[in-house]
Structure 1
Amino acid sequence: MIPAHLNFAHLKRCVSILTVLEAKGVTTPLTKRGDQLFGPCPLHGGDNPNAFVISLSKNLWRCFTGCDAGGDVVELVRRLYGKNYRQTAAFLATLAATEPTSQTASSLQPLKKSFRPFTARLHLNASVPWLRQKRITPTTARRFEVGAYQGGGFLKECIAVRLHDLDGHPIGYAGRCLDTNQVKQYGKWKFPPGLPKNKILYNFHRIKSWHRKGVLVVECPWGVMRLAQLNIPAVALLGIHLSAVQNDLLEKISPVVLMLDGDRAGQEATVRIRSALEPYTKVYTITLPSGLDPDDLSDEALSSVTRHFLF
């Protein structure tokens, strides 16, 4: 049986044409008329506003001018990126992981909620016991602009973590909830409304110059900080899904070492992400014991399990 994440029938149901265009960076405005979207063709170019038509309910596309072609998301990815079928399946699998599960092709809308970056710097306490328990030093916390937030609002009773875009520009803060009631309501993490997580690779702007040595990939910022204290380059997905943007960044780095959390979700994500990246770069995996995260390990253990891969 073909794994679900590489099954074309499954991928066609999970990934919309709009998601493929967004992943490519196509920002040309589309006009909605009933069930269809119209705009210039992203394949051959041009400015004919009626050349390219998308059927939202059928999740199909067609160019009526220069290309005189059409099809589904598989054919669109093959033409947009020049990928073979195996590469297309792996690429669509990464998009399927970031596509909202509550949406179907017939309910997708061309406009998404806008996000406004928050660039002001907050005053944070980098010397709190919670960070010390994570073995994150005050020096590291200040470097990464992390600490307890003493005010109210969105980050009340949270450890705030400053976020940056891929070029290092600050865009806001995520909050690691400490209050048990907040954890029940939001989960462990809170992110700014509308934050484009699929376009963020935490700490990427700091490790750009380290590419020749490879990079470790973890789920959350704490692992990145612990590894930084050992002078090991790492990035965090901010979850267990690899977006198309993150995929494009990581496939240019070698080797990529996956060290996700040791729970079932982390183990399954490791298999999925490795399948997506292996056609393009060398990928290794570090499997942690069940129930352990990278930041649960001692410095000695972290050094021991990573030293064979990057240096």
Structure 2
Amino acid sequence: MSQTAHIPSHRKPRRSASSRALRAGVTGGILTLTVAGTAVSASAAEPTAETTQELPTLTADLALNTVQSADATQQAAFSYQLQDQQEQAAGKAKSEAKKAKKAKTEAERKAKEAKERAERAAAKRAAAAEKAREQRASRTAERTTLSTTSTTSTSSTSGNSSDASSSDASSTPQTEAPSTSTGGGNAATVVNFVKAQVGKAYVSGAMGPSSYDCSGLTSVAFRQVGVTLPRVSQAQSTFGTQVSLSNLQPGDILYWGSAGSAYHVAVYIGDGQFVGAQNSGTGVVQRSMSYDMPTGAVRVL
């Protein structure tokens, strides 16, 4: 028996070993990977096995197309965004233009209405002025007529009085009615009475002694000389003889409004002055005719 028979061998046993080698290549646009595997057994070397796997790869054209596609996509996104902004700006501009047009139309409408109102007002003023001129002309003509009539009537009355005096010289004297006599004394009495009432109150329908209305004052004043006037202004404006405002005498009755439809009366006291119960705010006052020019006048005394 050999002495070395029991001595273990110092040679390391062969272990299975395998190795793989990776080879890569591009063939016809396809990436080719070749994996070579080698396994060696403990006893003998085994033949090498090769495995080939193909993986897709990007060609230069495909990579370029991909880049171009990304650029195109980004450019399209920019275009859409720009178009959207343009559409929004156009819509806003259209809305602003519509508002401006509406405001312009409204302004034109208001200007037209204002112009029409001004024209109507001017027409009314012109009509009122023309009416006032006609009324003044009518009053002037009426006063001239009344003055002429009054003068003629006075001359006729004087002639008749002279004839009557001559006729009465051989007949029984007639009694004179003092209530209708004409004289400075009666007019002075009326004037002094109305002056004494200045400052008293105005009360509608009142006839003294502490308050009057306009026709109440004239009625009571003429009672002082025995003349009974109608109670209201309308009737007093036609009682007696119509006289011109340019031919007034103290004691004449002034009236405002048309004869027969006067709305106010007062007593002329001379020097362009009158006394009348004006209203509840002023009471009985003495005023200049220029303060409130009357329409006409009648002479009772």
Report the TM-score, using the length of structure 2 for normalisation: 0.23
TM-score for the superposition, normalised by structure 1: 0.23
Larger Rg: 2
